[in-house]
């Protein structure tokens, strides 16, 4: 820090003011208000005229069957998506890790669904998953019929709907995690890989004993980010199934949205949002801890 930098410090407030004011008004203030409302009986139309109810909203949530279902669904979705997407992205990254310019198109292919907006993909996959009806069926069923699989009512079957949405979500997001893994792969020591090859390690052994340990931080990063993204699922079930059939795809975000705008119980909705934040905050804390251990 030099003298001239310190002298310029007087202009700092002007540089900071726009961003910090916006963050204060649109992030910090709503957060504080939500925290406050979660302990009151605030309703949608007149949140100002609310009375404190202590922890009642949180207790109600624990006994709210619909919210618990949404909570369970979101966990199940994360448990389906995170391992499959992480493993898939890892192997895709190994496969597309070809620095020759002639291979650059391959990376781009897997990144295409990341660029397309999620509502578009949700609508598209609803059509792809169309059940058989009057001699017509969606392309997914038509493709599976080639292998002798009978047509399924993907999004209308309570046991299939969530896995079907998970599959589509993995397809959409795998390219993004692949890019992160690809960046991580560039940090794996080439000397170590060559040494392992000379010692007679096969491709699998090199991946397992050299690449994976070297990419520990990248893997932790991808797993936590994918988990947080999976918990934030909303658009796909909202457009594809409206949370049905029989609440089998109801997401946490949709349940918060409905508590606010349909049952107009703002206090409980804010309590749910706070619980959600704690969950995401906990995951982030876990990530930081794991990454720190590595650095020490």
Kindly tell me which of 75 and 234 has the beta carbon lying closer to other proteins.
234
Kindly tell me which of 5 and 159 has the beta carbon lying closer to other proteins.
5
Tell me how far apart the alpha carbons of residues 28 and 147 are, in angstroms, rounded to a whole number.
Answer: 54
Dihedral of the alpha carbons of 151, 157, 163, 166, in degrees to the nearest 10: 100
CA 5 remoteness from chain centre: 41
Kindly tell me which of 68 and 242 has the beta carbon lying closer to other proteins.
242
Kindly tell me which of 68 and 98 has the beta carbon lying closer to other proteins.
98
Rounded to a whole number of angstroms, the minimum distance from the CB of residue 209 to other proteins is: 19
Check the CA dihedral 113-116-120-124 and report its sign: negative
Rounded to a whole number of angstroms, the minimum distance from the CB of residue 80 to other proteins is: 19
Check the CA dihedral 3-6-10-12 and report its sign: positive
Rounded to a whole number of angstroms, the minimum distance from the CB of residue 258 to other proteins is: 11
Query: Which DSSP letter does residue 52 get?
Result: B
Q: Is 138 exposed, middle or buried (0-12, 13-18, 19+ CB in 10 A)?
A: buried
Q: Nearest CA to 207 among 220, 192, 222, 221?
A: 192
Rounded to a whole number of angstroms, the minimum distance from the CB of residue 132 to other proteins is: 10
Kindly tell me which of 248 and 255 has the beta carbon lying closer to other proteins.
255
Rounded to a whole number of angstroms, the minimum distance from the CB of residue 168 to other proteins is: 8
């Amino acid at each position: 820090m030099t003298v001239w930098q310190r002298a310029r410090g007087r202009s700092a407030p002007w540089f900071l003011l726009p961003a910090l004011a916006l963050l204060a008004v649109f992030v910090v203030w709503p957060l504080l208000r939500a925290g406050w409302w979660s302990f009151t009986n605030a309703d949608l139309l007149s949140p100002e005229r609310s009375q404190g109810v202590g922890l009642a909203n949180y207790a109600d949530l624990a006994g709210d069957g619909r919210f618990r279902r949404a909570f369970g669904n979101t966990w199940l979705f994360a448990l389906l998506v995170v391992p499959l997407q992480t493993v898939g992205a890892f192997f895709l990254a190994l496969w597309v890790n070809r620095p020759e310019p002639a291979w650059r198109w391959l990376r781009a292919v897997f990144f295409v669904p990341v660029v397309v907006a999620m509502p578009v993909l949700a609508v598209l996959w609803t059509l792809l998953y169309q059940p058989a009806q009057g001699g017509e069926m969606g392309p997914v069923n038509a493709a599976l019929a080639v292998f002798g699989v009978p047509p399924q009512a993907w999004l209308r079957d309570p046991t299939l709907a969530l896995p079907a949405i998970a599959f589509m979500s993995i397809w959409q997001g795998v390219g993004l995690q692949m890019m992160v893994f690809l960046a991580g792969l560039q940090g794996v020591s080439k000397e170590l890989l060559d040494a392992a090859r000379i010692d007679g390690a096969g491709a699998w052994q090199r991946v397992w004993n050299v690449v994976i340990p070297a990419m520990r931080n990248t893997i932790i990063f991808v797993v936590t980010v994918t988990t947080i993204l999976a918990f934030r699922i909303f658009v796909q079930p909202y457009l594809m199934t409206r949370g049905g059939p029989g609440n089998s795809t109801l997401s946490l975000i949709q349940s918060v949205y409905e508590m606010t705008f349909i049952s107009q119980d703002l206090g409980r909705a804010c309590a749910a949002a706070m619980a959600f934040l704690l969950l995401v905050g906990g995951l982030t804390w876990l990530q930081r801890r794991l990454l720190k251990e590595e650095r020490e």
